[in-house]
Amino acid sequence: MGLSQINDIDLMNEKKSLNKLFECSDSFTSVVFNSGAGSGKTYALIQCLKYIISIHHDDLKNHNQKIGCITYTNVAAEHIKHQLGVSDVVEISTIHERIWSIICSQKSALLGLHIEKLNSEVELLNSQLLSNSEYEKYRALDASAQERFFQLMLENKKKYNMAYNLKATEFKAAMPEEIRLQYAELISNVSKFKGLVDKLFKRKRYLDCLCKIESGEKDYRVVNYDAMYNRDRLDKMRISHDTLLEYGYELIERYPRMRQLIIDKYPYILIDEYQDTADIVVKIMSLIEQYAKQIKHDVFIAYFGDSVQNIYDAGVGERLTRLHPELDFVLKEYNRRSYIEVIDVANRVRNDEVVQKSIYSDCSGGDVKLYYGSGENVSEFIEKCAEKWSVQIENPLHCMFATNQMVAEYSGFPNVYEAFKRAEIYRGIGYKQLNSELLSHDIIHLGRVQAILYRLIKIYTEVREEKQPLRDILPSDKYRNMSFLDLKLLIASLRAIDGNTLDELLGKIFNEYSMSNHQMYKLVMEKIFDVDEDLSYDKVLAIFVTSLYKSWDETLESKEIIHDLLDIKLEELLNWFHYIHRDEKKKICYHTFHSTKGLEYENVAIILGKDFGQDKDLFKYYFMNYEGNEEQDSDKYEKGRNILYVAITRAIKNLRVLYIDDFEEIKDGIEKVFEKAYAFTNEISIDDF
């Protein structure tokens, strides 16, 4: 069996780290619980929650106080809730949910911040119009000519939107004659013309919003946040996830009363996976603790995580103690996840002061090997892993790739990946965003176009599931007033949406949208596509083009520019959707390195090369500099180490690695980590593999 027996001495030593954590909570000494992968950090967090509840439940209840537990993802929040059970003094949520719950009642202060933000955005737009070279011809006009141009475009806004996706010559022909004659210089370059008009329209929306706020119009009195939409709609009073954190920090930094409110409400704050937390969140926590000391109130802030598992560029990682100084440290050396064979390799990958050992006395029996070969060996290598470990749907093989493209190919959505990869915004340094904006399992990180596709495929699948609750499909505050017959007709209309490709799907949607008088159908579609102007097929194409391209061939229509996106088969979009949802039922599941963080699997295969996406020679550099040198690029080395460490430590028992690039120049480094490397050939027997 394995991993089932713990001797009393190891158990007692493990409890020492927990006891120190408990002592810190008793004395309100803020702390970092830092330990390696598989050590049970989440277990320690839950035990800390249980300890605080057991000692202070009644006091917390009597003073209407809570223990705040903050996670990086919704999945982590649900896991902790499940493990902890129901408690009336604990609130477990993502940081965005918690910050919003704290500040949403501060309506006046939020509105003030929103006005500042709108004014700042208007100033930014004005600055761009005054300084950017692409608006030089606009600046050459006198004030009255600029105003006349804007009024003309405003009067012809509908015509402009309808013509947006046409080829340059056809677009020009669709514009009013006065524009073509009096403003010929402006319209000579259509893409710059569109950029100018879009900015002018955007500025007007912001200015109109400011006027509506000032006059106290009904829908402009309160700032809103919706976790499903990671995009600012400032003119519609809706903020994104990043702006939410920005507003939260500003309120807490400006107003001592906000800090006092948090301290009084949450005397205990526990943060899971601290290394992935944004700097601004740590700054908020530091502000809270500093103020608590100043007013002589008690607050306990505990960070649980591991700086070596920081693999996200936005994560605080080793900057934690610079942003939040004077924290105590609790270290834990025991591993509760893996067999010793996996732990030993992980320790060598990590190669720092944290050296783990198993908590279990029966921890032998793991199976770890590294092979070297080429890209041509990948499929055969994966098949051998599957056969070696007799994988089933109930106990699958989890295969990790260092490249997004291979994950997409093996998961059944290669054309989805290729369509986005070819988009201008993901070229060059923008490629780094492709992983999170297309392949993230946390939908708040999806790009704008990807989020639209996600919401579209989500409703496509939900209306076809007989047992899917209506509240998960439709805006809950609207459908409750509908008759049963109207609901039935709405679901029928939504189920009728179908097609072989994305373009066919959109065609069906907007054919119904233009002909239907069903307001709920229109509302559902408006929620899905989330547009700034009137919704239409052409408007959606314009969003796709302008979101994915900064410039484009003016001789082409929008449909030609994004034809590879529109031509994607519905089947591939469904495969992509199921990948995002992690609801694939397969014997072999495929992952990016980043997407497996925090998870554990019995059987793991890793396909490794010298590069990591656009990070050229990242793993090659790590292995070549394994024992360090004076001229070492520490950031590059640590990034390669951290990513490899996270991948290796997903394995519980069985682990195979295939290195598919030139092996000889890094042989020494690889063998220092894995002890021995084997040449992969198709002739290797399953027993020897």
Distant-in-sequence, close-in-space partners of 498: CB < 8 Å, separation ≥ 6: 504, 505, 508, 570
CA trace torsion 116, 120, 121, 122 (10° rounding): 100
Q: How far is CA 392 from the centre of its chain?
A: 30
Q: Is the dihedral of CA 354, 43, 396, 410 positive or negative?
A: negative
Q: What integer best gives the mean pLDDT of the chain? A: 92
CATH class of this structure's domain 357-402+593-679: alpha beta
The CATH T-level fold of domain 14-103+240-336 is: Rossmann fold (3.40.50)
User: 533 pLDDT exceeds 90?
Assistant: no
Binding residue numbers: 35-42
**Integer Cα distance of 144 and 631 in angstroms:** 61
Mean pLDDT, residues 460-488 = 77
Q: What is the pLDDT of residue 477?
A: 66
Q: What is the pLDDT of residue 434?
A: 86
CA proximity to 249, closest of 140, 102, 129: 102
Q: 629 or 56: whose pLDDT is higher?
A: 56
Q: What is the pLDDT of residue 416?
A: 97
Instruction: Give this prediction's pTM.
Output: 0.87
How large is the angle between the packed helices 537-548 and 502-515, nearest 10 degrees? 140
Q: What is the pLDDT of residue 558?
A: 80
Structure confidence at residue 274 as a pLDDT band (50, 70, 90): very high
Radius of gyration of the chain (CA): 28
Q: What is the pLDDT of residue 631?
A: 66
User: 478 pLDDT exceeds 80?
Assistant: no
Q: 14-103+240-336 and 357-402+593-679 share one CATH topology?
A: yes
Q: What is the pLDDT of residue 476?
A: 60
Q: What is the pLDDT of residue 320?
A: 94
Q: Would you say 598 and 485 are in contact if contact means Cβ atoms under 8 Å apart? A: no
Mean pLDDT, residues 450-479 = 83
Structure confidence at residue 150 as a pLDDT band (50, 70, 90): very high
Q: What is the pLDDT of residue 630?
A: 56
Q: Would you say 590 and 410 are in contact if contact means Cβ atoms under 8 Å apart? A: yes
Q: What is the pLDDT of residue 181?
A: 93
3-state secondary structure (DSSP) of residue 373: coil
**Integer Cα distance of 95 and 227 in angstroms:** 11
**Integer Cα distance of 10 and 440 in angstroms:** 38
User: 557 pLDDT exceeds 70?
Assistant: yes
Q: What is the pLDDT of residue 516?
A: 80
Distant-in-sequence, close-in-space partners of 95: CB < 8 Å, separation ≥ 6: 70, 71, 72, 245, 277, 278, 281
* Least confident interval from 394-398, 448-452, 630-634: 630-634
Q: What is the pLDDT of residue 113?
A: 98
Structure confidence at residue 438 as a pLDDT band (50, 70, 90): very high
Q: Would you say 230 and 180 are in contact if contact means Cβ atoms under 8 Å apart? A: no
Binding residue numbers for ATP: 35-42
Number of Cβ within 10 Å of residue 112's Cβ equals 15
Q: What is the pLDDT of residue 488?
A: 84
Mean pLDDT, residues 167-185 = 93
- Per the structure block, which two tokens stand in for 610? 């010298």
Mean pLDDT, residues 631-636 = 80
Structure confidence at residue 565 as a pLDDT band (50, 70, 90): very high
Domain ranges (residues) in the chain = 14-103+240-336, 125-220, 357-402+593-679, 415-425+438-576
